[in-house]
Structure 1
Amino acid sequence: MNESTLCRLMFYAACAAAVGLYWSGLGGPFVLDDAYNFGPLEKWLQGTASAREIIWGNASGELGRPVSMASFLLTVATGGMHPFPFKFGNLLIHLACATAVWQLFRRLLAHDVRLAAYAERIALAVAVIWLLHPINVSTVLYAVQRMAQLSTFFVLLALLAYVQGRRLLAIGDTARASRFLFVAFPAAFLIGLLSKENAAVAPALCLLIEIAYFRGLFTRERRVQWFFGLFLLAPMLLATGLLVVAPEKLLGLYDTRDFTMLERLLSQPRALMTYIGLLLWPRGGLMGVFVDDFAVSEGLLSPPETLASIVALLAITGVAYSYRRRAPTVFLGWTFFLVAHGVESTFLPLELYFEHRNYLPATGLLLASACLLFLLGQRVRLHSQALFVIGRTILVPGILAGLMWVSWTQVQTWRSEGALAEQALRHRPDSMRAKIVKAGVALKERRFVDAQELAQSLAMGPDQRNRMQGFVHSITIDCFAGAAPNLDNLDRAVDSAIAPIRLSDASSFRPLARALEEGRCGGALTPGRLADAIVRIIDGAATQPNTSRPKWMLRTTAATLYARAGEWDAARYQAEMAWQPNADPAVGALLVRIYVHLGDRARAEAVLGEVASRVETYEVAGSLEIARLRQAVGAML
Structure 2
Amino acid sequence: MSFHVTSQQHARILIYVALIGTAFLYWPGLSGPFILDDPFNLDPIQRWLDGQASIAEIIFGNSSGVLGRPVSMASFWVTVASGGMHPFPFKFGNLIIHLVCGLLIWQVVRRILARDTRLAAHAELLGAGVSIVWLLHPINVSTVLYAVQRMAQLSTLFVLASLWVYVSGRTYLEQGHSRKAAVYLFAAFPALLLLGVFSKENAAVAPALCLVIELAYFRNPLDTKQVKGFFGLFLALPCVLALTALLLSPERLIGLYDTRDFTLTERLLSQSRALFEYIGLLLWPRGGAMGVFVDDFATSTSLISPPSTLLAILGLFGVSIFALALRRRAPSLFAGWFLFLVGHGVESTFLPLELYFEHRNYLPGFGLIVALLGLASLATSSKIRLDARLASVLTASVAVLITLCLGLITRDQVLIWRSQESIARHALENRPTSLRAILENTGIAIKNSDYATAMALTRNLTSSDNPRHRLLGHIHSITVECLSGRGGSPDDLESATEERLDKVSLSEVQAFGPLAKAVAEGRCDKAIDASQVGDTIVKILDHTQAQSAASKPKWLMRTAAAQQYMRANRWSDAEAQAELAWQPGADAAVGALLTQVYIHNGKKEKASRVLSQVADRVDGYEIGGQREILRLQQKIDEMTSLKEEAPAS
Is TM (by shorter chain) over 0.5?
Answer: yes
Report deviation, 1:380: 8.1
Match of 1:57 among 46, 61, 75: 61
Matched ranges for 1:59-458 at <5 A: 59-214=63-218, 219-376=222-379, 379=382, 382-383=385-386, 388-389=391-392, 391-458=394-461
> Which residue, out of 583, 587, 592, partners 1:580?
583
Does residue 599 of structure 1 match 2:602? yes
- Tell me how far 1:378 sits from its aligned partner: 7.8
Q: 1:107 deviation in Å?
A: 1.0
Equivalent residue, structure 2, for 1:461: 464
Q: Gaps spanning 5+ residues in structure 2: where?
A: 641-649
Structure 1 counterpart SS, 2:293: coil
CA drift at 1:571? 0.3
SS at match of 1:25: helix
Deviation per CA, 1:577-615, whole angstroms, max 9, x where unpaired?
000111011000000000000010000000000000100
Which one is further off, 83-92 or 477-486? 477-486
Are the aligned partners of 2:19 and 2:99 in contact in 1 as well (CA < 8 Å)? yes
Alpha-carbon offset, residue 219 of structure 1 = 2.6
The answer for the alignment partner of 1:12 in structure 2 is 16
Q: Secondary structure at the match of 2:272?
A: helix
* Structure-2 separation of matches of 1:137 and 1:400: 15
* Displacement of 1:220: 3.3
Per-residue CA deviation, residues 210-229 of structure 1 (Å, 9 max, x unaligned), is: 1111256x633111111111
Within the candidate set 26, 30, 41, 1:22 is matched to: 26
Query: CA-to-partner distance for each residue in 1:327-355, whole Å, 9 max, x for gaps?
Result: 11110000110000000000111000000
| Equivalent residues of 2:304, 2:310 under 8 A apart | yes
Deviations 1:354-413 (A, max 9, x none): 000000010100111133235437858714668635532432211111101110110011
Q: 2:55 and 2:222 mapped to 1: Cα distance?
A: 47
Percent identity reads 52
CA distance in 1, matches of 2:443, 2:14: 44
* CA distance, structure 1, for counterparts of residue 258 and residue 554 of structure 2: 10
Aligned-partner residue type, residue 595 of structure 1: Y
Give the distance between the partners of 2:80 and 2:498, measured in 1 at CA: 45
SS of equivalent to 2:498: helix
Give per-residue Cα distances to partners, 1:151-189, cap 9 Å, x unaligned: 000001111111111000001110110000000000000
TM-score normalized by the length of structure 1: 0.98
| TM-aligned CA deviation for residue 287 of structure 1 | 0.3
1:41 paired with 2:45, answer yes
Q: Is the 8 A contact 1:480 1:515 kept in 2?
A: yes
Q: Residue 644 of structure 2 aligns with which residue?
A: none
The answer to whether the 8 Å contact 2:487/2:523 transfers is no
State the Cα distance separating 1:494 from its structure 2 match: 1.3
Cα distance in 2 for residues equivalent to 1:65 and 1:380: 53
Instruction: Name the count of aligned residue pairs.
Output: 636
Cα distance, 1:242 vs. partner?
A: 0.7
**Where does structure 1 lack aligned partners over 5 or more consecutive residues?**
none
Distance 1:393 1:105 in 2: 19
Given that 2:482 and 2:524 are in contact with CA atoms closer than 8 Å, whether structure 1 keeps it comes out as yes
Residue 459 of structure 1 deviates from its aligned partner by 1.4
The equivalent residue for 1:624 is 627
What is the deviation of 1:319? 0.7
> TM-score, length-normalised on structure 2?
0.96
Check the 8 A contact 1:28/1:414 in 2, yes or no.
Answer: yes
Partner SS for 1:483: coil
The AA in structure 2 aligned to 1:310 is I
1:514 aligns with 2:534: no
Contact preservation (8 Å) 2:502, 2:547: yes
Q: Distance in 1 between matches of 2:389 and 2:302?
A: 49
Contact 1:381 1:388 in 2 (8 A): no
Tell me, yes or no, if structure 1 residue 535 matches structure 2 residue 553: no
